[in-house]
Amino acid sequence: MKFFNFHLMPYRHADLDAIERNGSAWVTFSNRHYDPQQGAGLYHEYLDQMEYADRLGFDGVCLNEHHQTAYGMMPIPGVLAGALARSVKRAKLAILGRALPLLNNPLMVAEEYAMLDNLTRGRFIAGFVRGIGAEYHAMGVNPTHSQDRFAEAHDLIVRAWTEPGPFQYVGKHYHFNYVNPWPRPWQSPHPPIWIPSQGSASTIRWAAQKRYTYAQTLSPIAVVARFFQMYRDEAEKAGYQASSDQLAWSNTIYVAETDAKAMREARPHLEALTNRFLKMPTEMLLPPGYSNIETIKRVRAVKVTGKPQTLDDLVKNGVVIVGSPSTVREKLAEYQDLAGFNTSLTKTQFGTLPDDMTRANMAAIAEEILPHFRDRLPQGAQQAAAE
Amino acid sequence: MDDPIPSTLELRGCRIALRRAGSGRPLLILHGAGDAEEWLPCIADLAARHDVILPEHPGFGASETPDWLDTISDLANFYLEFLDRLGLTEVDLVGHDLGGWIAAELAVRNTRRLASLTLSGAAGIHVKGVAQVDTFLGSDEQRVRDLFHEPGRADPTLERLRRPEREDVVLKNQTTAARLVWQPRGYDPHLAKWLHRIDVPTLLVWGAHDRLFPPDYALAFHKLIPGAKLAVIPDCGHLPHVEQRGAFLVALENFLHGRRAAA
């Protein structure tokens, strides 16, 4: 299994009570709460952690994009990827991803990603997402155009990487007389494309058809397993057998000497992530047209945005893995076999977790977990299916 | 009083639902981002003196959602063709909220078939520095309460919209509304430049406490449309035809009657 250190770069000094009073850390949570002194410190702290992950032997580091929120300080992930392109010496560098529909000019992502692919001499992984619903409030982009713009921007970027320019592109949302980006990507035909999603059936089908790596975001492991099975089924319909390398699970892992200590230490920080940084009302998460009406009805019916979750819920449902080294190894192996993935996108920092605890966690994962999984593939049913 | 007769009509490859009641001069009502049903009590009154026509816009209610529907301009052109198809002349056109925006866009293009224009709580222009409620960030309940000056008066509307069989239509209407108004939020920066072209008698009827399009919007339309008359309804929010139906009908009928007397 491959391990990527996935950072959300939260503004971990945020006033959690103020977030609670505002109802969300997104869109309407005033940036008066952002202190540039502290924020600058966090950027360097987090970039140092990414470089540390490289030295510890993680296979890659991941950035992502969110706007106008204390949940993550990466509205323009390419800035941080640029900073890491030279200091992360060995590991892959992934942006998971840029939110294509928010862009008025997706050619700039073709350029930005090609630059990063050149800078890293082919260690770059290109993620494309739609962005979550809150982004459409924050950036003034029509959520009913989201799926169309994503499809169009993706097609434009891949063509820009693979077809000799200049050529003309005329879509519904994007129009260019000259598509001819310099530089071209370092990898051929282009950097690997990864598609993180919350589990939309149409996205899973599309990713499987394109043979793009599918990354499942923050979900209970049983749900992850179901979505990964959908991917394998769709691959089969498309005429090939999906490999476990095409499936990545986005999780959180915290390791300490004992289960009790790990739970005690992780609890406030993970609960801050889930119940403060991540919380938002349904109308912010799902603006009209962002998803189809059936999805909106399903989400509203389970009231996912309302319930506070305890660490015990998160552990029990297999959203996160927290415990002693042996517990974490056991759970991770169980989940790998259940869901059949071969990449773990792991948040080692989460919520309000401070630097010293993050680095201890990273070191523990590198020493106690990584070596045991280095050559491990999904066992049992998934393995049989893949053979 | 005649009950409205529901029917359908296919135009530009889109089958829309339509209610028609009464007799007299044609009065075409273009509903807002909510739904057409909130107009039914008004229709009952208006049908005594008018041939009232209440279509559901493409993408709303029982009407189909055509592939070509992207902007309010599409609907303005659609309703110009609708007037042609029905062969209507001397039409009194009434538009509320985004229906007001459609009506204004239509009238800027061509008033040949119109006798008058009435805009109520109309979208379509932007007035700098006037705070507006963001209906897309309100909860299902708050979004409806914000439409009323006295939030308690929202109860019957909330009860109607909460019926389980309405859920799909409510979501469909929200989706189409978002498609049409999300960005720029509720206006076309080019509309205000051409409102002076409207050459039929125009009434602006506005809730004094409209939080979506506060009365400053009525004043702005008043400046931009030559000779427009303004009726501000007291104790009223964004839905004069629902929250103050009596006062709304008086203002509308006085305007239409006065126009006829003058003609």
Residue A296: its pLDDT value, please?
Answer: 82
Q: Per the CB < 8 Å rule, is B178 touching A28?
A: no
* Chain A nearest C-alpha distance from B95 (Å): 23
- Percent of the residues in chain A that have a pLDDT greater than 90, as a whole number: 91
Q: Which residues of chain B have pLDDT under 50?
A: 1
Residue B263: its pLDDT value, please?
Answer: 58
Residue A304: its pLDDT value, please?
Answer: 56
**How far, in Å, are A282, B52, B256, B257 from residue B260 at the CA level?**
50, 17, 6, 5
B254 near A CB under 8 A: no
Minimal-distance CA residue of chain B relative to A144:
B179
Per DSSP, the residues of B37-96 read: GGGHHHHHHHTTTEEEEEEPPTTSTTS---TT--SHHHHHHHHHHHHHHHT--SEEEEEE
The residue type found at A51 is: E
> Rounded distance, CA A76 to CA A26, Å?
16
Report residue A218's pLDDT band, with 50, 70 and 90 as the boundaries.
confident
* Chain A nearest C-alpha distance from B53 (Å): 28
- Whether the predicted model's global pTM rises above the 0.90 cut: yes
* Chain B nearest C-alpha distance from A159 (Å): 26
A244, A378 contact by CB (below 8 A): yes
pLDDT tens string A115-141? 999 999 999 999 999 999 999 999 999
Report chain B residues whose CB lies below 8 A from the CB of A287.
136, 178, 182
> Rounded distance, CA A49 to CA B134, Å?
40
B182 near A CB under 8 A: yes
Report residue A387's pLDDT band, with 50, 70 and 90 as the boundaries.
very low
B162 near A CB under 8 A: no
Residue A383: its pLDDT value, please?
Answer: 52
Residue B2: its pLDDT value, please?
Answer: 52
Per DSSP, the residues of B147-163 read: T-SSGGGGHHHHHHHHS
Strand pairing category for B50-55 and B14-21: antiparallel
Quote the DSSP letter at residue B225: S
> Rounded distance, CA B231 to CA B138, Å?
29
